[in-house]
A and B are shown apart, each in its own frame.
Chain A
Amino acid sequence: MQTYDYAIVGNSAAAINACDAIRGLDREGSLAVFAEEKRRCYSRPLISYLVMGDIGEKGMYYRPSGYYRRWGIDFYPGTAVRKVDAERRLLETSKGERFKWRKLLLATGFRPFTPPVEGLEEARYLTFVSWDDARAMIRLTSRPLRALVMGAGLIGMKAAEALHSRGCRVAVVEKMDRVLPLALDETASEMVAARCREAGMEILTGKSVSRVTAGGGYKGRAVLDDGAEVDFDLLVVAVGVRPRTELAEEAGLECRGGIVVDEHQRTSRPGVFAAGDAALAFDLVRGEAAVNALWPVAALQGKYAGLNMAGREVPYPGGNSMNAVEFFGLPVLSAGIVNPPDDSYEVIVRRGENGDYRKAVVRGDLLVGMLVAGKIERAGILTSLIQERANVRRIKNFLLEEGFGHIHFPRSLREERIVEAVAGLTRADRERGRG
């Protein structure tokens, strides 16, 4: 039986960034990637761009062709891992092959959640989470039709936008009282919803689908909780995602709505790591473990899992919720806490002349959240202040100002960030006389 030094289950953001990190430290160790999907790694968030024709199929790939060969990775496409034995360090694939491993990474991602709606099981509908889903959507919308999207989260809104670009008449039903309720605050939600309505979409918030009646093919009718009926030719269900933990659970790893990991992305079993949407890792804004089902967070966790697997013990710095969206020409970026749960948070808001909207959420001396809509330039400075848990007491009043930047920082902090970080010298190095 073949033994891999590193075996990775999954082939997306977390998995590939783990491969990069491992190969940065260890070019010799044997490395295998097991992928349930048949394709080499593609960027999942780009499926809406594919449907909209913004990119072609070639634009979907996250890494150049030849990536696996170049970095000496045994790639097993179309091969799901069915079973993991964490005790004897074995795994078994859907093709019946068995492998030994020394270090294992579970980067199994998420799966779409199916809501318990009457009649849904009998109906045909689409999800919108994979390249295959995108292809199906393109095929089914070769002629414009009436589409109903359940859920106005990121995936639902991306699906709605894609359907709209295909000429469909789109209605979106959302149980919460606004679109993108997690990523945005009320004002920004309203701004996005207004753009969508202007473009001709129907946005039905504060309503849920209570029953679906199949009507042949993908056609059907949805009955909403207020009694309204919506006929559709195509239904897309996007009411949320759940970490895929079944493999981990069967292997006896601790899971709590996500695979539990420590600060080195290690699970409860020796030699087994987890990263990405499947993992419950540290959120540095909330100060506790949380699932942030986001590409950059999955990538960062993958990177740190890879480093630790290859023997460099570095703690994961923590992730945070962050979103970059643009609907119908309105870009919105947000990070951290944008909907403060109580009044221990201070909220600063600024509106520009051309409808721009900016918001900062401060708690004590820390910036814990930000949102910018319209003008998004340089918002990353705010994100970094959130992530670095920097003391913003002295610059609080400038955060949302036009032209906010390092110029507002105390000089020592500015130099630390701009000069020292680049020259690779920390203040401590300087004091030790290395500068």
Chain B
Amino acid sequence: MKRRLGLEAEKGGWELKRIIPREEYCIGCRLCEIHCIVQHSKSRDIIKAFKRERRPLKRVEVEERGHVSFALQCRHCDEAPCITACLSGAMHRDAMSGAVVHDPERCVGCWTCVLVCPYGAVRPDGAEKKVVGKCDLCPDLEVPACVANCPNEALVLVEE
């Protein structure tokens, strides 16, 4: 039984992918962060992304303390506080995938979503225009880059 309150009018019958971290297997190597950056870079080339282009924002963050670590990205919340709070309407639920996505064109960089995201999963993008960035579940990939590139299966994908 899935607990879901169908609140936003857009919510439909999509199958939302969710990424779950497994801290028992995470070794804190941060390959997920690296591949996230590459996937969101212009060229999607690891050398170019890190050395020549404007390095995009990482949308996954490894939290680490002592021997414990895990990777965390946007939870694509059922009740997404960022959507309700967004001043411009830039943050919204994608009607096709059910993912919580962000439209940088409409975003004004007011940081209200940063203020309300319980996971710290949306952050200011260092871009010239003031905007935020967050996990988009890699819409062009079958399996998101962070999950696909974790050597230890410390990130797993579940589909509802």
Which residues of A approach B to under 8 Å, CB–CB? 17, 19-21, 23-25, 43, 45-46, 49, 54-55, 59, 61-63, 71, 295-296, 299-300, 303, 307, 312, 314, 322-324, 326, 331, 333, 335, 376-381, 383-384, 388, 403, 405-408, 417-419, 421-426, 429, 434
Contacts and interface: CB of A to CB of B under 8 A. Distances in A.
Contacts of A303: 7, 84
Contacts of A324: 110-112, 114-115
B65 interface: yes
Contacts of B117: 380-381, 384
A421 B120 contact: no
A314 B5 contact: yes
9 contacts: A24-B7, A46-B88, A46-B108, A59-B88, A312-B5, A324-B111, A377-B114, A423-B158, A425-B3
A423 B78 CA distance: 10
Interface range for B: 35 or more
A379 B7 contact: no
A434 B1 CA distance: 7
A248 to B, nearest CB: 24
Contacts of A406: 63, 70, 72, 119
A418 B123 contact: no
Contact of A24 (B11, B61, B115): B11
B6 interface: yes
A417 B23 CA distance: 14
Nearest to B105: A59
Nearest to A41: B89
B136 to A, nearest CB: 16
Contacts of A379: 114-115, 120
B143 interface: no
B9 interface: yes
Contacts of B3: 424-426, 429
Given A326-B111, A379-B114, A406-B72, A62 B20 contact: no
B9 A331 contact: no
B31 interface: no
Contacts of B89: 43, 61-63
Given A24-B11, A296-B85, A422 B112 contact: no
Given A54-B108, A376-B114, A421 B87 contact: no
B30 interface: no
A59 B77 CA distance: 26
B7 to A, nearest CB: 5
A296 B84 contact: yes
A63 B89 CA distance: 6
Contact of B85 (A46, A299, A405): A299
B46 interface: no
